[in-house]
Amino acid sequence: MATQYGLSGTTAKGIAASVERSVAEGTLGPGSALPPVRRLADELGVSPGTVAAAYQELRRRGIVMTRGRAGTVVAPAPAVASRRPPRAPEGLRNLADGHPDHRLLPGRLPTSRLSPAARSHRATPRQARLEETVRAWFRSDGVPVDHVTFAHGALDLIARLMSVELRPGDAVAMEDPGYHHLLDLVTALGLRAVPVAVDDQGIRPDALRGALRAGVRALVCSPRAQNPYGGCFSAERRDALVGLLREEPEVLVVENDHASAVADAPLHTLTAGGLTRWVHVRTVSKFLGPDLRWAAAACDPITLARHDGRLLLTSGWVSHLLQEAVHGLLTDDGTRALVARAREVYTQRRNALIEQLRTRGVAGHGAGGMNVWVPVRDESAVVNGLRSHGWWVAAGARFRLSSPPGVRISVAGLEPAEAVRLASDFTTVLGESEATYGG
């Protein structure tokens, strides 16, 4: 086996380097099994402890992972490139990007002051008045606010927590279909995504139960405006999920309330259910602007210490200038009125498309947020068919793990009058695709 794969070395460091070289050269591809510890030790003439130490180092670095009786295997390669959305062709109405309507975002930033150069930002990483504003914001929705922190966006915070809390090969329960960047992130960190099915009320209890039985170490979910399906937790659904999670106190629950102020649905948060390990994170990208790379989080004390400890070792703090800008926007009456209007407009646009599809016998899902998910039999046929009518929508493949096919339509900028034509074209394309593909 060692000869077959070209593995060599007499020390743990040397053996690990040999395995890594074989992976880099493609001799050992994703999923390839490494020799059992004792067999490789015999072939290399070293102790089993030396090989075990090499494998442990490779697991720590995310190069290999352990799969029970299957032994140690090469970890899957990150799938980031495969999930990146294709560029929208010129001349098409782009309903695939998922961005907010720029006309419903603040046009100017409030005046901010530069912090004195001598100030120790590491000693005071969070500005007190923004922290109090965040606490009031979370508290109004029932999120516990004993411990809060800031980050450079939700993905930044989730990546930091996963790198601290988990080890390569650990399993993470992920919504299916779910946000493609989060799915990519899990893979890139060498973690294993366990799909959890969703419906109009968010993640399904039966699916979560199965994931917990499979030994997941963390759960990442959205309580409302789930992307791309649009599900929102009801009080009953929240209670059912909390009941399951209380039985697994070591599982870290990451609640990503990404749409928050424009979600047009009440928050039924898991974090109010007395869980042991949890974090609730919000960004402002969807209603203040995608370029404001800032997030706030409330969490349990252990999670706070681990997150902030790692943050201290990297960027140290979130820019105080950025914090000043966010605080100014969050507390500005004009901006608040604009956000309230955006929430109403997105609701009207989403509901208009769902209703137009429904009257034509097509089921669309979107209980909250800026997207509508439409199940289809053949994603490519529908995407290409709509392209011929001047529309560009997102194929569901990059959002899915094992769920059935569908397409995501971003409705943030879709006027109700346009929804009539889109629904009509969609119905035509469905009929054409079924005739072509044997419907």
**Within a domain: 343:** yes
3-state secondary structure of 437: coil
CATH number of the domain encompassing residue 258: 3.40.640.10
Q: Do 288 and 345 share a domain, yes or no?
A: no
The structure tokens listed for 23 are 């992976």
Task: Measure the CA–CA gap between 280 and 269, rounded to whole angstroms.
Answer: 8
Query: For residue range 284-297, what is the model confidence (pLDDT) as tens digits?
Result: 999 999 999 999 99
pTM of the model: 0.82
pLDDT band for position 115 (cuts 50, 70, 90): low
CATH number of the domain encompassing residue 381: 3.90.1150.10
CATH number of the domain encompassing residue 25: 1.10.10.10
Q: Do 147 and 233 share a domain, yes or no?
A: yes
Q: Do 177 and 325 share a domain, yes or no?
A: yes
Q: Do 286 and 399 share a domain, yes or no?
A: no
Q: What is the largest CA-CA distance in the chain?
A: 75
Query: What pLDDT does residue 99 have?
Result: 93
DSSP assigned state of 318: -
Query: What pLDDT does residue 438 have?
Result: 41
Q: Do 374 and 430 share a domain, yes or no?
A: yes
Residue ending a domain, among 283, 309, 333, is 333
Average pLDDT of the residues in 409-429 = 97
Q: Is the pLDDT of residue 407 over 90?
A: yes
Q: Is the pLDDT of residue 77 over 70?
A: no
Range with lowest mean pLDDT among 54-58, 110-114, 192-196, 430-434: 110-114
Q: Do 359 and 235 share a domain, yes or no?
A: no
Q: Do 181 and 58 share a domain, yes or no?
A: no
Percent of the chain residues topping a pLDDT of 90 = 76
Phi and psi at 39, nearest 5°, equal: -65, -45
Q: Do 264 and 214 share a domain, yes or no?
A: yes
Number of domains in the chain: 3
**Within a domain: 1:** no
Within the chain, how many helices (H) and strands (E) appear?
A: 15, 15
pLDDT band for position 84 (cuts 50, 70, 90): low
Contacts of 40 (CB under 8 A, 6+ apart): 1, 2, 7, 15, 34, 51
Cβ–Cβ under 8 Å, residues 27 and 5: yes
Q: Do 328 and 343 share a domain, yes or no?
A: no
Q: How would you classify the pairing of strands 391-392 and 295-299? A: unpaired
Q: Which domain holds residue 20?
A: 12-74
Residue ending a domain, among 310, 333, 356, is 333
**Within a domain: 422:** yes
Give bridge partners of residue 194 from the DSSP assignment. Answer: 173
